[in-house]
Amino acid sequence: MRKYFFIFILFLSYAQVFSQPVYSDKYWKIGKRVAIDFRNGNGVAVSNDNCGQPLYLSNTFVGDRNSKVLAYSEGLYVLNNKDSLMLNGVINNGTISNTYSPQGYNPCFKGAVMIPNPGDSNQIYMFYCNLEWTIDGGYFPEKLYYLTIDKNGDGGRGSVIMKDSAIIKNDTLTVGDVFALKHGNGKDWWIICRKYKTNAYYITLVDSTGVHAPKKQNIGTPFTHLYANNGQGNVSIHDNKLAFINYDGVQFSQIDLVDFDRCTGTLYNSVTIKFTYSIDSLNIPALCFSPSGRFLYGGNVNDIYQLDLLASNIKSSIQIIGHNTGNYMFGMINNGPDGKIYVTPWGSGDHVHVINNPDSLGTKCNFQFNALYYPCCNYPSGGAPNVAHFNLGPVAPCGDNGVANIETNNKLQLAPNPASNYTQLSCEEGIKSIQLFNSNGTLLKSYLLHSENTYTLNLQQYTSGLYIIKAQSTQWHVYYQKLVVE
């Protein structure tokens, strides 16, 4: 009886009230006077928004719980909630990038991202890269900066209180692809960017104490061709997968897929897919995961492709699911908050295109050409926003939120539980990997499997108490269960 009372108290000791401001991604400004409004469900075209600036490749924003945009940026300046230049909002974004400033244009794919400050509910961070170096005939960033916004500054319109603080200095980064991923504790953040022509990633922790120094991790296959351009990468909606694209513009391209552990900030399970234009007739400068993570969509100016990440040969699974039959080219691709995928036009155009059922195979995904129409003179300018997944909750036993916040799922079964010598895991989808954590969130053991539906876990070396089992299925789903060891 005392043993079970101890376990009951252990559960209660980790039960905390998880409270923080709720942020929204349900109103996208995507160009001068134009937006997509998701507040009532599916995306609706807005042609009379108050934004007076074009928003291109580095478009990012933070919205409040009522979907009011608090601050947004194109990566060269910060605009406030009244759609005017924020106080102190002009950014020193590199000598080359600044040549684009008169046009309000930052040529970095997803080169900026905004997140709430985990340590101060009145502040917003923005991370952004510059263009400084001239290498291999192209322009590249040498720094990753961040700035801080006080939401209450300038009479409630917001003000930039610190800017142009470099956390990566004098290096060569890819042109954009600066991503924010929610920490497994549900409140902190990870910022990720890549180093040019290598397999190195910079991973920066942002928590209640501030912005930490980045760590570097090498994983995967570097793209070392002379003209190593990068297109628009993306993050899955659960922040546990990333996709990147490199191409030389002449002959070769490469997609890099990598899983992400939100608790430890570690990349793993790297997969590289190589293409040769003359053989594959393929050039994909934009990527986006389906909501479940099973499919990866790629787009170029003329076609939208689908790859099945569960296929035995991912490259061979590629098929065209949408073709451009109009006058404007396809641009960036992003997950909408309504579960659909949105394709903005390249440069400018009077329509946005939609993949209505992105978790369906092939043409069943229902690509809708010219789904949203923008009349008259103000058109989307290619700027599908680089928006963080603000409201992802805790999904791993890490940090100070404890195991009581873990979302368990009955698709992963443990028997017996409680257990003493062993427990058997079972999952109909098949198990790809297992991780065992103690009640403090410390990773004790990792197992890589071969798609087994069942696995017997030996527990003889573990003391009595509460543990968490994390399993990734062969369909890319991640499931958790609490285990009591007697």
Rounded Cα distance between 28 and 382, Å, is 12
Sorting pLDDT into bands at 50, 70 and 90, what band is 240?
A: confident
Q: Which two tokens stand for residue 224?
A: 């070392």
pLDDT higher than threshold 60 for residue 4: no
pLDDT higher than threshold 90 for residue 410: no
Q: Which two tokens stand for residue 106?
A: 């930052």
Sort 484 into a burial class: Cβ within 10 Å, 0-12 / 13-18 / 19+: buried
Question: Which of 103, 73, 100 has the alpha carbon at shortest distance from 89?
Answer: 73
CB 270 within 8 A of CB 256: yes
Domains and CATH numbers, the chain: 2-15+403-485 (2.60.40.3080), 27-373 (2.130.10)
CB 239 within 8 A of CB 392: yes
Sorting pLDDT into bands at 50, 70 and 90, what band is 16?
A: very low
Rounded Cα distance between 384 and 404, Å, is 36
pLDDT higher than threshold 50 for residue 7: no
Taking the model in full, what pTM does it have?
Answer: 0.82
Rounded Cα distance between 123 and 130, Å, is 23
Q: How far is CA 427 from the centre of its chain?
A: 27
What pLDDT score does 280 carry?
57
Token pair 């890819």 is found at: 174
pLDDT higher than threshold 90 for residue 374: no
pLDDT higher than threshold 50 for residue 239: yes
294 φ/ψ sector (left φ>0, alpha ψ -120 to 50, else beta)? alpha
Share of the chain above pLDDT 90, in %: 48
| Mean pLDDT, all residues of the chain | 85
Extended beta strands in 248-374, E state: 252-261, 266-276, 286-289, 295-299, 303-308, 319-323, 330-335, 341-345, 351-355, 367-373
Sorting pLDDT into bands at 50, 70 and 90, what band is 435?
A: confident
- Report in angstroms the alpha-carbon separations of 439 from 11, 224, 319, 470: 9, 43, 45, 13
What pLDDT score does 20 carry?
45
Q: Which two tokens stand for residue 225?
A: 């061709």
pLDDT higher than threshold 70 for residue 480: yes
pLDDT tens digits, 199-210: 999 999 999 999
Q: What is the DSSP letter of 272?
A: E
Share of the chain above pLDDT 70, in %: 85
Rounded Cα distance between 339 and 360, Å, is 12
Rounded Cα distance between 393 and 238, Å, is 10
What pLDDT score does 15 carry?
33
User: Which of the two residues, 361 and 11, has the higher pLDDT score?
Assistant: 361
Strands, sheet with 351-355, edge to edge from the N-terminal-most edge strand: 330-335, 341-345, 351-355, 367-373
Most confident of 32-41, 129-138, 212-221, 371-380: 212-221
pLDDT tens digits, 265-306: 999 889 999 988 656 555 667 899 999 889 999 988 888 999
How many Å from the N-terminal Cα to the C-terminal Cα in the chain?
12
Rounded Cα distance between 129 and 34, Å, is 25
Rounded Cα distance between 334 and 286, Å, is 9
pLDDT higher than threshold 80 for residue 99: no
Helices (H) and strands (E) in the chain, counts: 3, 36
Determine how β-strand 215-218 pairs with β-strand 210-211: unpaired
Reported as type and span, the H/E element at residue 279 is helix 277-280
Mean pLDDT of 141-167: 95
Rounded Cα distance between 366 and 354, Å, is 8
What pLDDT score does 144 carry?
94
Sorting pLDDT into bands at 50, 70 and 90, what band is 477?
A: confident
Say how many CA atoms lie within 13 Å of 358 toward its Cβ.
31
- Report in angstroms the alpha-carbon separations of 190 from 60, 127, 297, 388: 16, 11, 24, 11
What pLDDT score does 415 carry?
94
Reported as type and span, the H/E element at residue 125 is strand 123-129
What secondary structure does DSSP assign to 101-123, as a single string?
A: GGGT---SBT-EEEEE-TT-TTE
Q: What are phi and psi of 468, to 5 degrees?
A: -120, 135
Q: What is the DSSP letter of 2?
A: H
Q: Which of 187-196, 219-228, 365-374 has the lowest mean pLDDT?
A: 219-228
Which residues touch 225 (CB under 8 Å, ≥6 apart)? 246, 248, 251, 252
pLDDT tens digits, 47-71: 999 988 878 888 999 999 888 999 9
Sorting pLDDT into bands at 50, 70 and 90, what band is 401?
A: very low
Q: Which of 318-332, 343-357, 435-449, 461-475 has the lowest mean pLDDT?
A: 435-449
Q: How far is CA 363 from the centre of its chain?
A: 25
What pLDDT score does 13 carry?
34
What pLDDT score does 396 carry?
60
CB 236 within 8 A of CB 251: no
What pLDDT score does 131 carry?
79
pLDDT higher than threshold 60 for residue 405: no
Rounded Cα distance between 438 and 467, Å, is 5
Strands, sheet with 34-37, edge to edge from the N-terminal-most edge strand: 27-31, 34-37, 44-46
